[in-house]
Amino acid sequence: MSNDKKPDFSNVQGGVQSTEQVKPDFSNVESKVASTEDITGGEGGGGSTGQQTYTVEKGDNLSTIAKQFYGRQDWKRIYDANRDQLDNPDRIKPGQVLKIPQDDAQD
């Protein structure tokens, strides 16, 4: 049973198209969030608690913020002071305003 005729696929065309839309490029977008909250503490003024605030920026983590304010990575102090808005110390977001408690270890 030999059949000398073979199917002719010479005019078959193929192609692939994605149904996914082109995603916008946001790589050059910049934003800045500033707090309108008054910074309390420092010198002068009655009733000062010595507490400051810090607005989280992209790339920040609690350890680096603590090192900036305390000179050491005492992140737990900042985490404890902000438990009302932080569920996880590894999940801070740019734009969050964190309370920075006074450093009790200063001499």
The CATH number that applies at residue 90 is 3.10.350
For residue 65, the enclosing domain spans 60-100
Q: Is residue 3 part of a domain?
A: no
Per-residue pLDDT of the chain (107 residues; tens, 9 = 90+): 566 788 888 888 888 777 777 777 777 777 777 666 665 544 444 445 557 999 999 999 999 999 999 999 889 999 999 999 999 999 999 999 999 998 876 65
Encoding tokens for residue 27? 């790589």
Q: Is residue 84 part of a domain?
A: yes
| pLDDT for res 41 | 47
pTM of the entire predicted model: 0.52
CA distances 107 to 3, 39, 46, 68, Å, are 99, 23, 23, 17
Domain count, the chain: 1
Q: Is residue 43 part of a domain?
A: no
Q: Is residue 10 part of a domain?
A: no
Decide if 55 contacts 100 (C-beta within 8 A): no
